């Protein structure tokens, strides 16, 4: 693999097919301890990511659930 002058890379067709990286699929590159990780961006967000860092002030999960349930 080579990086072009403009910073573009080409993912080999065999890998694109294997991982469903088809035309117009959005991807993300994340730094890791060992290098870079390329993965598809999905429209659906993981449930944990939707609530990550929503609790503040040391509240417990039980207290938060009680609050959002209106109790």
The pTM (predicted TM-score) of the whole model is 0.49
Which pLDDT tens digit goes with each residue over 27-58? 888 999 999 998 887 766 667 766 666 656 66
User: Per-residue DSSP letters for 14-42?
Assistant: HHHHHHT--TT--EEEEEETTEEEEEE--
pLDDT score, position 1: 74
Would you give the distance in Å from CA 54 to the centre of its chain? 18
Residues 6 or more apart in contact with residue 20 via CB below 8 angstroms? 40
Query: What percent of the chain is predicted at pLDDT more than 70?
Result: 75
CA neighbor of 24 nearest in space, from 32, 33, 35, 16: 16
pLDDT score, position 20: 84
pLDDT at 4 over 70: yes
């Amino acid at each position: 693999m080579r990086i072009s002058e403009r910073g573009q890379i080409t993912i080999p067709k065999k890998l694109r097919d294997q991982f469903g990286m088809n035309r117009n699929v959005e991807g993300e590159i994340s730094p890791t301890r060992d290098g870079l990780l390329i993965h598809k961006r999905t429209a659906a967000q993981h449930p944990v990511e939707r609530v990550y860092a929503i609790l503040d002030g040391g509240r417990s999960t039980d207290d938060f659930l009680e609050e959002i349930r209106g109790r």
